[in-house]
Structure 1
Amino acid sequence: MTSPFADPAFAPGLLFDAQEAGITRFVVAAVIADGGRVLLLRRPADDFMPGLWELPSGKVEPGEEFENALLRETEEETGLTIDQVTAYLGQFDYTSKSGALTRQLTFEVTVEKAEPITLTEHDDHTWADRSELPGVSDAVRKLLTR
């Protein structure tokens, strides 16, 4: 499979579309599958959206390329190293804790090894079947069950 980032028009197209929609912040998320299950992380009780199960994800820093942010955030949140970005699965918009209109860009990836998981920002992780997802947002559920 070819990474969507191999197309030189891909990232600029995402930026252009976001500017048109008034997006001020980006988050990148990784769908990591292992044996038909996907990795989900649970937000801690004292965090924004406590207890929500989510994909490994994080903010794109100013001037950072989407692919670099995806690699960095996945490693920071899970300890896993992305081997390949295999597909762009879609996006959704939401308002962040700070009030910024945020767009999450979600990518399917492969990792060098699926274990061990090292959590730094979440309080739990699970490998979930796409048909039996725990408390994820409707937007994430829609992306994972297409």
Structure 2
Amino acid sequence: MENTIVVAVKGVIVHKGKVLIVKRAADDVGGGTWECVGGKIDFGEQLETALIREIEEEVGLTITVEKILYATTFNTDPTRQVVILTYLCRCDSEAVILSEEHSEYLWATSKKMKAMLAPGIVTDFEKYDVFKLEGLH
């Protein structure tokens, strides 16, 4: 079987001191888990362009990308590796319109994120000081 590398972008979307997290739809890969919004880049697409597109598609928000927070990689199976670039984003609205990919959303405090996000995401957020971002509740 051929090895595959997938590149994805995620947004830590901050609004009024909280971060938007979404719950994957039950019938999706990783169904029922909470995560930040984002997805795979298309061939030839710029990273920030992909992030803006994915966030618009998945939650209907227009965002401003501020900076990259961290990059990480892991294998989802023996032949598939995922590289995720996570960015700090801001938005002016909390009016989320969910796509079919997610069943719920929450504007979460740091405490809620620690309780609800997948353990691997919490570990990365702690390692890269995401919970210590200025202005987070």
What TM-score, normalized by structure 2, do the two folds share?
0.80
Q: Which residue is 1:61 aligned to?
A: 42
Q: Which whole-Å CA distance do the structure 1 matches of 2:7 and 2:23 have between them?
A: 20
Closer, same or farther: CA 114–94 of 1 in aligned 2, 3 Å: farther
Closer, same or farther: CA 132–93 of 1 in aligned 2, 3 Å: same
1:118 aligns with one of 86, 91, 97:
97
Q: Which residue is 1:4 aligned to?
A: none
User: Conserved in 1, the CA contact under 8 Å of 2:8 and 2:85?
Assistant: yes
Unaligned 5+ runs, structure 1: 1-21
2:108 aligns with one of 117, 128, 134:
128
Q: Which residue is 1:89 aligned to?
A: 69
* Number of equivalenced pairs: 123
Matched, 1:46 2:20: no
Q: Which whole-Å CA distance do the structure 2 matches of 1:97 and 1:59 have between them?
A: 17
Deviations 1:11-62 (A, max 9, x none): xxxxxxxxxxx97211101111122110000001111111111101100011
What TM-score, normalized by structure 1, do the two folds share?
0.75
User: Conserved in 2, the CA contact under 8 Å of 1:27 and 1:105?
Assistant: yes
How much identity, in percent, do the aligned residues show?
32
2:16 aligns with one of 29, 35, 60:
35
Unaligned 5+ runs, structure 2: 133-137
Matched, 1:145 2:134: no
Which has a greater percent of strand? 2
